[in-house]
């Protein structure tokens, strides 16, 4: 048996948009992706991290992609990202 290396290229799977949910505090969640301004369909997201990159007190969202540049969603406050 030969050792065969394989690679799962991002074009192998169909991309799906990133989704942002708000915790309603009662065991349910609401999809706020579009209202929050984080709706994108052009990426193959591989990972996500939240952090306050600009020290304004609001958690920003950084999405690592494979086939397009990464996304940085800057939190403008009140649940709105840019």
Residue 43 lies in a domain: yes
The CA distance from 20 to 11, in Å, is 23
Closest CA to 19 of 34, 9, 5, 7: 34
Residue 75 lies in a domain: yes
* Residue 49: predicted pLDDT: 97
Residue 31 lies in a domain: yes
Q: What is the CB-side half-sphere exposure of residue 51 using CA atoms within 13 A?
A: 7
* Residue 17: predicted pLDDT: 84
Residue 5 lies in a domain: no
pLDDT in tens, the chain (82 residues): 678 888 777 677 777 788 999 999 999 999 999 999 999 988 888 889 999 999 999 999 999 988 789 999 999 999 899 9
Question: Taking the model in full, what pTM does it have?
Answer: 0.79
* Residue 14: predicted pLDDT: 73
* Residue 38: predicted pLDDT: 95
State how many domains the chain has. 1
CA distances, 49 to each of 10, 12, 63 (Å):
20, 24, 7
Residue 2 lies in a domain: no
């Amino acid at each position: 048996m030969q050792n065969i290396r394989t690679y799962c290229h991002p074009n192998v799977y169909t991309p799906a948009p990133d989704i942002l949910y708000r915790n309603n505090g009662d065991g349910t969640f609401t999809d706020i992706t579009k209202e929050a301004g984080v709706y994108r369909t052009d990426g193959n997201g591989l990972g996500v991290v939240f952090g306050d990159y600009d020290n304004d007190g609001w958690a920003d969202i950084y999405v690592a992609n494979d086939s397009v540049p990464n996304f940085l969603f800057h939190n403008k406050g009140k649940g709105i990202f840019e």
